Amino acid sequence: MKTDHQHTALITGANKGLGKEIAWQLAQRGFAVFMGARDMAKGREAAEELCQEGYEATFIHLDVTDPVSIKNACGTFSQKADHLDVLINNAGILEDHGEDIINLNPELLDRTFKSNVRGPIMVTQDFLKFLQKSPNGGRIINVSSGAGALNDMETYAPAYSISKTALNAVTRQFAGALRNQHIAVNCVDPGWLRTDMGGPHASRSVEKGAETIVWLATEADITETGKFWHDKRELVW
């Protein structure tokens, strides 16, 4: 049975942290949310929490590093909805632990790019056919990081930082390719958040980190595309 909700959103890495918070905020705004996660138990649990509060949430098994998993997720989605309004590429990893570029392990770099760069490209490519059916214009939001901004980059977490710079470039490429299809593509620096990745001493809550992402998904003009945002303001690349 397909959703009868007017608005639909898919969030990758939605079983915890920022992704889970984004799902909550969009559900509260009337979206049917599809919560992608590679951990099946945690993904189902996260979706069930929203359902128990009266929202429509569906878990979709989705490992962004696995092309077969992405295509299977598309098949599952097609059984539940006939269009997608918002795609949020949130899933990502940070495995750098004090290394600098001089000692960077190439296998770590490959894993990071597979998750943080190749994953969002493949997910966007495969779900594009659903975004093109959005009646009000589709929106793609890539969760980036201030660490990926070239203007003040130094030595922090080279694999992660470089991957987020690349994700910003991916954002620009898709924005250009989809400009005439009424699909906005943007990336967001949510800030240093208190999540598993950011740690307990981070300066910002997940609620604050989700604000700009949800704004781009719901309120920002569809003509705002190909930009890098933080707290609803455009950032220097």
CATH number, residue 37: 3.40.50.720
Asked about 55 being catalytic, the answer comes back as no
Place of tokens 């609620």: 207
Maximum pairwise Cα distance, the chain:
53
pLDDT at 198: 67
In a domain, 196, yes or no: yes
In a domain, 151, yes or no: yes
Q: Which of 16, 20, 55, 164 is catalytic?
A: 164
Contacts for 71 with CB less than 8 Å, ≥ 6 apart: 126
In a domain, 1, yes or no: no
Which CB contacts under 8 angstroms, 24+ apart, belong to 40-49? 42/15, 42/16, 43/14, 43/15, 45/15, 46/14, 46/15, 46/16, 46/20
Helix (H) or strand (E) holding 187: strand 183-188
Q: Domain range holding 67?
A: 7-234
**CA distance linking residue 105 with residue 117, whole number of Å:** 17
Q: Which of 80, 160, 208, 227 is catalytic?
A: 160
Asked about 16 being catalytic, the answer comes back as no
Contacts for 125 with CB less than 8 Å, ≥ 6 apart: none
In a domain, 146, yes or no: yes
pLDDT at 204: 84
For the chain, 237 residues long, give each residue's pLDDT as a single digit of tens.
788 888 999 999 999 999 999 999 999 999 999 999 999 999 999 999 999 999 999 999 999 999 999 999 999 999 999 999 999 999 999 999 888 999 999 999 999 999 999 999 999 999 999 999 999 899 999 999 999 999 999 999 999 999 999 999 999 999 999 999 999 999 999 977 667 766 777 678 888 999 999 999 999 999 999 999 999 999 999
Contacts for 110 with CB less than 8 Å, ≥ 6 apart: none
Number of separate domains in the chain = 1
> What pTM was estimated for this model as a whole?
0.96
pLDDT at 200: 77
In a domain, 2, yes or no: no
With CA atoms as reference, report the closest residue to 37 among 48, 50, 46. 46
